[in-house]
Amino acid sequence: MTDLETNIGKLNAHLERFRAEGIRNLIGGASVPAASGATFETHSPVDESLICKVARSSAEDVNTAAEAAKVAFPAWRDMPAAERKKILHRIADLIVERAEEIALCECWDTGQALRFMSKAALRGAENFRFFADRAPSARDGQNLPSPTLMNVTTRVPIGPVGVITPWNTPFMLSTWKIAPALAAGCTVVHKPAEFSPLTARILAVIAHEAGLPDGVWNLVNGFGEDAGKRLTEHPDIKAIAFVGESRTGSMIMKQGADTLKRVHFELGGKNPVVVFDDADLDRALDAVIFMIYSLNGERCTSSSRLLIQDTVADAFLKKLTERVNNIRVGHPLDPATEIGPLIHKEHFDKVTSYFEAARADGATIAAGGQRVGDKGWFVRPTLFTGATNDMTIAREEIFGPVLTAIRFRDEKQALTLANDTQYGLTGYVWTNDLTRALRFTDALEAGMIWVNSENVRHLPTPFGGVKASGIGRDGGDWSFEFYMEQKHIGFATGQHHIPRLGA
């Protein structure tokens, strides 16, 4: 039996339960269908086959979930942090135990290659451990004495929060948002993306099995325009942590306006990787390829615009084209596969529409530009050369394995091109000139920048974007800043003068 056949066998065993029961919501600790009984179907992008039916929630289900989160909040907030820490570590333990199942299901549901997803499941566990360890210090504050008062600050959890996640690496991203919310003492209503509901269900069940009290974590499946929208409008939901498209973020801000919702947005990107001629070009090549073609290019931090210096562009692009043509597209459960299918027909149509856009704009399709096979949503990894920064392929987030290469003359032009975008999530700079690296990163408009490196996530550092790429930061203490309220309390230390009116 090949590795692929073995993995398919294991996957089918895991899918049996989903096929028999479908995916239900988890509200107040109970697995329940949508109140209306409505469902929708989730299909695998690999062969378009039906995976299972999923609860299609409406406002009524969201109301019930928000009520459960509200009822559970005081006890969860007041539980000693050391207890919360233990439960979150137990969630991490169970994720590790079921990491293979999570990875296989994630691949089948999203089309992501197993080589990346097995690590993503474990990273989910790490997210829980990281925030579990910080739970005991989440409420810590400062002592800021003044002449007449002892002023102290403390942080308190904001209340029940809504978490809305996208379909790219949905498992890892859900843990990334939910773990700090729970560690801070908030209760959660999670609305996962409709295209990828499998692992969100596994995760919520794991949390329940780990001993999380009923109602602390509620899962509501459904579409953005009804379940998602209601969550953002619900008066008992105090904040919305959202990961998704910039356009949706803007809608959520409007939807949440009447209830003055606090929002945290991790949105789209059109991230530049800038390669100067003095860089280690072999390492730069590896990183350029990894940062756009891993995870099917369905990655917010992907470097989708290559800015390459004229002096080395011909040789660099030649090697790049050869490597891109060698990338292995295949079944996501085959350990040799580097790129699997795109998530869904809708997204496939969007990504492939840029092949025509590139031609129409006069760019060259140096690699790829075609579908692979006639079943499933596979595309060849694609490279556009001869592009300029005003072309559609350089301006819009394609969110697939598609790279647009643009040449530049000098540092000044590279910076202008890099910043000439509505987005500002990440930037990657390759140079061995230290002073240039310092200058360039200072002026680059991005929330996260790596110099001579691909994106290497370190959990204590701030994660987030500027411009249309987001509002707020995750990671380290920044996550707690979002899920908690600062409170100041002043204690008089003596009999200071109080102005006497009407005396």
Q: Which residues bind ligand NAD (CB under 6 A)?
A: 164-168, 173, 191, 193-194, 223-225, 228-229, 232, 243-245, 248, 251-252, 255, 266-269, 300, 397, 399, 425, 465, 469-470
Selected catalytic residue, list 266, 298, 396, 397:
266
- Residues facing 31 on adjacent strands: 26
Choice between 407 and 473, CB closer to ligand NAD: 473
Q: What is the C-alpha separation between 66 and 188, in angstroms, rounded?
A: 8
Closest C-alpha to 173, from 243, 105, 106, 122: 243
* Cβ–Cβ under 8 Å, residues 84 and 183: yes
Interacting residues of 436 by C-beta distance below 8 A, sequence separation 6+: 276, 411
Residue-by-residue DSSP string for 439-494: HHHHH---SEEEESS-----TTS-B--SGGGEES-BSTTHHHHHHEEEEEEEEE-S
The residue whose two tokens read 């809608």 is: 251
The H or E element containing residue 426 is: strand 426-430
Choice between 90 and 234, CB closer to ligand NAD: 234
Conformation bin of residue 34: beta by default, left when phi > 0, alpha when psi is -120 to 50: beta
Instruction: Provide the minimum distance between the beta carbon of 314 and ligand NAD in the complex, in angstroms, as a whole number.
Output: 31
Q: Which amino acid is at 158?
A: I
- Neighbouring CB atoms inside 10 A of 323's CB total 17
**Phi and psi angles of residue 313, each rounded to the nearest 5 degrees, phi first:** -60, -45
Choice between 160 and 185, CB closer to ligand NAD: 160
Choice between 335 and 462, CB closer to ligand NAD: 462
Choice between 188 and 313, CB closer to ligand NAD: 188
Rounded-to-5 percentages of helix, strand, coil across the chain: 45, 20, 35
Token pair listed for 297? 């290019």
Choice between 226 and 485, CB closer to ligand NAD: 226
* Cβ–Cβ under 8 Å, residues 200 and 192: yes
Choice between 87 and 351, CB closer to ligand NAD: 351
Instruction: Provide the minimum distance between the beta carbon of 223 and ligand NAD in the complex, in angstroms, as a whole number.
Output: 6
Q: Beta 30-32 vs 149-157: how paired, if at all?
A: unpaired
The verdict on whether 233 is a catalytic residue reads no
CA angle 68, 73, 74 (to 5 degrees): 130
Choice between 56 and 208, CB closer to ligand NAD: 56
Q: What is the C-alpha separation between 426 and 457, in angstroms, rounded?
A: 12
Instruction: Provide the minimum distance between the beta carbon of 175 and ligand NAD in the complex, in angstroms, as a whole number.
Output: 13
Instruction: Provide the minimum distance between the beta carbon of 273 and ligand NAD in the complex, in angstroms, as a whole number.
Output: 16
Token pair listed for 263? 């929002």
Instruction: Provide the minimum distance between the beta carbon of 300 and ligand NAD in the complex, in angstroms, as a whole number.
Output: 3
Instruction: Provide the minimum distance between the beta carbon of 176 and ligand NAD in the complex, in angstroms, as a whole number.
Output: 8
Instruction: Provide the minimum distance between the beta carbon of 369 and ligand NAD in the complex, in angstroms, as a whole number.
Output: 22
Choice between 363 and 425, CB closer to ligand NAD: 425
The H or E element containing residue 404 is: strand 402-408
Our measurement of the distance from residue 244's CA atom to the centroid of its chain's CA atoms, rounded to an integer in Å, reads 7
Closest C-alpha to 183, from 161, 209, 160, 157: 157
Q: What is the C-alpha separation between 455 and 449, in angstroms, rounded?
A: 8
Q: Which residues are catalytic?
A: 266
